[in-house]
């Protein structure tokens, strides 16, 4: 496999090889395959390498290690995607009840709360997500969006900057940081 630049994407290849190892008992935020993927995410400079790392991180985060929870996750995502937010919130509540240490259950419920306009509940679930997985760039970016919805631009800037510490090339976070720094006249940190 070669990248479009002619060189093998070594970091991505290493991550792919690592992913071929047997799944751990619980493939979630505690999965040992995440550390090298986050290293690829931090050091990669090409879109293909960044994309590989990001996709595989999300894949691992979505696997709870429990079939019942995984089925509920699929149902909740489908409900949320089709606009049935009350149903998805209830489904994700079942997930966090069954697997309270599964960060992605909290993150998905935070997203459903956000979409339903329940920002306080969304923040509580984002905080729980980040307590379980401090590298959760999706939750950090989501927190930035919540702060933007609350017109808390400084809070949003901090959340998006935290996102970039984990995922330095996250396009939406980079856009928001640039725009908010210019608007608030905040220097780079």
The pLDDT tens digits for 120-151 are 999 999 999 999 999 999 999 999 999 999 99
For 18-27, 66-75, 176-185, which range has the lowest pLDDT when averaged over its residues? 18-27
Q: Is the pLDDT of residue 19 over 60?
A: no
pTM of the entire structure? 0.84
* 97 exposure class (CB count in 10 Å sphere: 0-12, 13-18, 19+): exposed
Per-residue pLDDT band at 30 (split at 50, 70, 90): confident
Strands (E) across the chain are located at none
For 8-12, 62-66, 104-108, 172-176, which range has the lowest pLDDT when averaged over its residues? 8-12
The Cα–Cα gap between 102 and 94 comes to 12
Helical pair 34-43 and 10-19, crossing angle rounded to 10 deg: 170
pLDDT for res 6? 35
Which residue has tokens 């040992």?
32
User: Does 23 or 164 have the greater pLDDT score?
Assistant: 164
pLDDT tens string 54-88? 999 999 999 999 999 999 999 999 999 999 999 99
Residue 168 corresponds to which tokens in the numbers above? 């330095």
The Cα–Cα gap between 188 and 186 comes to 7
Q: Is the pLDDT of residue 25 over 50?
A: no
The Cα–Cα gap between 28 and 99 comes to 11
The Cα–Cα gap between 51 and 55 comes to 6
Asked if residues 103 and 133 have their Cβ atoms less than 8 Å apart, the reply is yes
User: Does 40 or 21 have the greater pLDDT score?
Assistant: 40
Rounded mean pLDDT, 96-112: 98
pLDDT for res 5? 30
Rounded mean pLDDT, 13-42: 68
Q: Is the pLDDT of residue 21 over 90?
A: no
């Amino acid at each position: 496999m070669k990248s479009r630049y002619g060189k093998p994407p070594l970091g991505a290849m290493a991550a792919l090889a690592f992913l071929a190892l047997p799944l751990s008992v619980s493939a979630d935020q505690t999965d040992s395959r995440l550390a090298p993927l986050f290293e690829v995410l931090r050091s990669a400079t090409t879109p293909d390498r960044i994309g590989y790392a990001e996709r595989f991180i999300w894949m691992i985060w979505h696997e709870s290690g429990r079939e019942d929870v995984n089925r509920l996750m699929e149902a909740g995502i489908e409900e949320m995607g089709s606009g049935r937010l009350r149903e998805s919130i209830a489904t994700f509540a079942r997930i966090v009840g069954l697997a309270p240490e599964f960060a992605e259950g909290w993150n998905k419920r935070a997203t459903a709360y956000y979409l339903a306009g329940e920002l306080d509940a969304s923040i509580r679930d984002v905080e729980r997500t980040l307590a379980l997985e401090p590298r959760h760039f999706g939750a950090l970016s989501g927190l930035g969006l919540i702060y933007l919805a609350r017109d808390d631009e400084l809070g949003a800037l901090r959340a998006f900057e935290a996102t970039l510490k984990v995922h330095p090339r996250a396009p939406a976070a980079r856009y928001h940081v640039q725009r908010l720094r210019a608007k608030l006249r905040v220097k780079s940190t």
